[in-house]
Amino acid sequence: MKKIILILTIILLFDSRAFAQETINLDLEDNHSFIEQIVQNQNNAEDDQVVDYVSMSEADKQNAAADNTIYRNKVFHSTVTENIEQTPVNPQFSLFTALAETAKSVYNLEIERTDVPEALLKDQLTFHFEKGVLDNVHIWSAYQMNFSTNIPERGDTDSKFDVGLINILIDGQFKGGKENFRIMLDPTHRSSHIPFMEPFFQDLYIESHRLAHTNILVGNSRPGVGIEGAQSPYTLAFINRSQISRNLANIRKFGVRVRGDYSLMDYDVGIYSSSTNFTSFFPGHEFDAWMNLKPLGKTDGRYGKLVAGGGISSGDKHDTSYMVSSAYAGYDYKKFWTKFEYAHANGSNGGSGLTNKKSEGLFVTVGYHLTKKLEILARYDEFNPDRMIRNNKMREYTLGTNYYLKGQALKLIFNYIYCQNDSKTDSHRLLVGTQILI
């Protein structure tokens, strides 16, 4: 730990304007606080004589070590590293400087893309290895929180604060860059009916990129059932997924999948165990297949990005068969984007659990970026959990605003939802949330 702090201190001091002087005397027995001591030394920096540690004699260096004086160089010399152990560095000063520089780098971080997640401390928390099979490891975490108010048209108003998710992720790449892995942990325990360790491991896979335009993944992952159902939670436009996504998909399963990405098409095909959250070894099988066509893929975005696709999810679990078919269309052009998705199920094994009910639903979303940071959204979302029952549809009309302070790494979210149910009391929901990727 001391070596890490020492190395960070040396690097940070060569980039710091605030502590440009060569000599900083720290009298820890003085009545002034540590911070006041630094400020005083900073104010007197221009009047101080610059002392070059490298050019000092051995006797002067020993005297410097005896009187707790810290010497630094404005210009980096390779000989400095040879004398690091002779240079006294106060750990408290080093930690303060490191934290200050880290906060400064996060403040100045520019993230404009919102279609991919990027963590605030990616550079600081990515570790590279010279030896061993690993090339690098990135450790990061994701947090989603929201405050919601539910206002039924008849009944009492209910408000609550909810931690939507806490994820701890470890992304690693092996030497050669052809294979990578991900471990994602979820420490939130949401149900007393499920043992803690079953949903604790979410993503747990190894992925190979040895074939051109093709990835082969083995392990626990989110199958490609629908576009939004397979989408990362860190890039969702709204706080909640659409009803078809959260009921028919949004679950992880163990299996082997092959994904391809070409200029005019992409695909995602996999064979999985129908078990979820490692509840059982192999209660049945599941086959998922999805294909997208990209007719504007070779136009370099001049006319926007058009994607049309569809797929199926078919399997059995504990002698219950299920089949979900979906269709999708999406278009992006400059600041505008829209998505449409439809799903038809004869039984399903998604987020709402295993069921033989015949359901269907659809959603339409439109979005527009007023600025690089401010986005407005609207969605119509309809779901029928059982087509065999009349007057059973649930509709959600959502208006939303996203403010991307640092892309998806730090954003503020506001959603208003009008919930219209054929069999229940209509209601209004207000949600204010945030997402932080560290």
Domains of the chain plus CATH, in order, are 2-107 (no CATH), 126-437 (2.40.160.10)
Query: What 3-state DSSP class applies to 285?
Result: strand
Torsion of CA 40, 98, 19, 38, to 10 degrees: 10
Sole residue written with tokens 């009916």: 193
> pLDDT per residue over 81-111, tens digit each?
444 444 555 666 777 887 888 888 888 888 8
Residue 241 has a pLDDT of: 96
Q: Average pLDDT, stretch 197-218?
A: 93
> pLDDT per residue over 324-351, tens digit each?
999 999 999 999 999 999 999 999 999 9
Q: Is the pLDDT of residue 380 over 80?
A: yes
State the Cα angle at 425 between 423 and 428, rounded to 5°: 130
40 in Cβ contact with 48 (< 8 Å): no
Q: Is the pLDDT of residue 360 over 80?
A: yes
Residue 194 has a pLDDT of: 73
> pLDDT per residue over 132-151, tens digit each?
999 999 999 999 999 999 99
Helix spans in 132-278 (H): 243-248
- Other beta carbons within 10 Å of 94: 21
Residue 277 has a pLDDT of: 80
pLDDT, the chain, mean: 84
Q: Average pLDDT, stretch 14-43?
A: 43
Helices 91-107, 2-15: inter-axial angle, 10-degree rounding = 60
Which stretch of 26-30, 152-156, 219-223, 262-266 has the lowest confidence by average pLDDT? 26-30
Q: How confident is the model at residue 199 (pLDDT cuts 50, 70, 90)?
A: confident
116 in Cβ contact with 127 (< 8 Å): no
d(CA 215, CA 209): 5
In this structure, is the dihedral angle defined by the CA atoms of residues 241, 314, 220 and 193, taken in order, positive or negative?
positive
Long-range CB pairs of 81-86, under 8 A, 24+ apart, other chains included: 81/10, 83/53, 83/54, 84/6, 84/10, 86/61
d(CA 294, CA 264): 5
